[in-house]
Amino acid sequence: MLRRLLLLIPSLSLTLLPTAALPPLTQAQVIKSGPPACAAIALTFDLCPVRKGTGYDKALVDYLIEHKIPATFFMSGRWIAKHDPEVEQLLEMGFFEVGTHGEVHAHLVMQNADEQREEILGPVKILSEHYAHEAVLFRPPYGEYNGITVDVVKSLGLQFIQWSIESGDPDPTLSADQILARLEKRAKSGSIVVLHANGKGKQTREVVQRLTAEILPRKGLKPMTVSQLLSCTQPTR
């Protein structure tokens, strides 16, 4: 209800968001990882629209909440439109961070600058106008982008977040053990991992549980949000 009341306050223009206060690393045009000196890792979850199912991995999110595990979620506009209670819940968690993932999950490389701008700004506007949340993190649908995308994101004052480790969790042919083996081999200080919280990864909940309870502690890595990781200036071990 508080967010609804906040909507009465005129919002700032979405044309250009401030970036001056960001640490130097976050000024990189396309960010794929954090500082290698920081013994931490960012777990990120894409919330893309789905054709079948609820589009929300409740068991996964409940686990993250129960254990207060920092995580960053990238929401598409279409996903937001169908998941109002879930959006509210994710925004209320102080150890979660919410970014955007395009309006309809379009292939940006097939669009011109104006079309890309519209696709990128869609969920940013929704979160601002309906939830009083100013999202500054952006991840392109499918991880696809070109020079136009980089220029548009930069002009909007958004942070362009990719990843250094692709979990492969939506792949139905991969078992939890196979995904975990990949993550254990590649995870290191400053890594950004991409996973999904829209139910496309049937084994994602198990993967995250074993990753956070077993693998990360063994490797001396601490989960952080993307912003926390990018701002990390010293080892956390």
pLDDT digit string (tens) for 53-92? 999 999 999 999 999 999 999 999 999 999 999 999 999 9
Q: What is the mean pLDDT of residues 96-105?
A: 97
> Within the chain, where are the H helices?
2-6, 58-66, 77-82, 84-92, 113-131, 147-155, 176-186, 204-210, 216-219, 226-231
Q: What is the pLDDT of residues 134-160, one digit of tens each?
A: 999 999 999 999 999 999 999 999 999
Query: If you compute the radius of gyration of the chain from its CA atoms, what whole number of angstroms results?
Result: 17
Q: What is the CATH number of domain 24-231?
A: 3.20.20.370
Is 60 exceeded by the pLDDT of residue 237? no
Kindly tell me if the per-residue pLDDT of 22 is higher than 90.
Answer: no
Going by C-alpha positions, the residue among 71, 75, 73, 72 that lies closest to residue 122 is: 75
Residue located via tokens 């400053």: 190
User: pTM higher than 0.85, yes or no?
Assistant: yes
Where exactly are the structural domains of the chain?
24-231
